Amino acid sequence: MTRRIRRAFYLAICLFLIVFAGFVAFAFKVERQTLQLDQKADGMIVLTGGADRIPDAIELFSKGHASRMLITGVNPGITRAEIGRFNPKYRELIDCCVDLGYEALNTSGNAREARRWAQQNAIQQSLIVVTSNYHMPRALAELQDALPGLALIPYPVVSVKMRDSSWWQSPQAMRLMSSEYIKYVLVSGRIIAKKLWSQTKAAFD
């Protein structure tokens, strides 16, 4: 009995170290992401949620990196005209070339909405993805699952909560990063399980 308890204890320590190492690697990868972008794509998508995501995406869009943009997960009370009022410099560009998606309630919903929009606009090769830096890994995982044929080009917006210091120096940033890491692991696990199930089912069909 004592031997079993000891083994369980050692196993728990190993699992903790694996999870902790994964979290640290995830956090440093997020922090090292850059905002430099010199590529063009067929389209651009911005996932709502962070205060700076839409303004940064519109400014990037105005530089000609894509010909059409989708803002996904928009509050039903927000209109294109209202976004134009908050970004008056780009009002004409918003009116002509920016689409709003109202159906998505979470990141997986964003991915489904992006897939429909890409199909409707014949976007078949590449897509620029704009979201907060801490949210980018999970967003890319969901989008890659929904749009396997597209090359995804990340444009991570640095969150206000993470601008002034590194993630380990701010309790708020650490909580945010920890929460996002857990969500990312769960999403990755779901996607892997779905692929394994599809492969297994195909093998028996």
Does the residue 2 lie in any domain?
no
Intra-chain end-to-end CA distance of the chain, in Å:
46
> Which pTM was predicted?
0.86
Number of separate domains in the chain: 1
Distance CA 167, CA 36 (A): 21
Which pLDDT score, from 0 to 100, does residue 160 have? 65
The tokens of 39 are what? Answer: 């590529």
> pLDDT digit string (tens) for 87-117?
889 999 999 999 999 999 999 999 999 999 9
CATH code at position 138: 3.40.50.620
Please tell me the distance from the alpha carbon of residue 117 to that of residue 172, in angstroms, as a whole number: 35
Number of helices followed by number of strands (H, E) in the chain: 7, 5
Q: How far apart are CA 23 and CA 77, in angstroms?
A: 37
Question: Residue 25 domain-assigned?
Answer: no
- The residue behind tokens 């830096």 is 133
* Calpha distance 166→114 (Å, rounded): 32
Task: Look at residue 164 in the predicted model and tell me its pLDDT.
Answer: 56
Domain that holds residue 83: 31-161
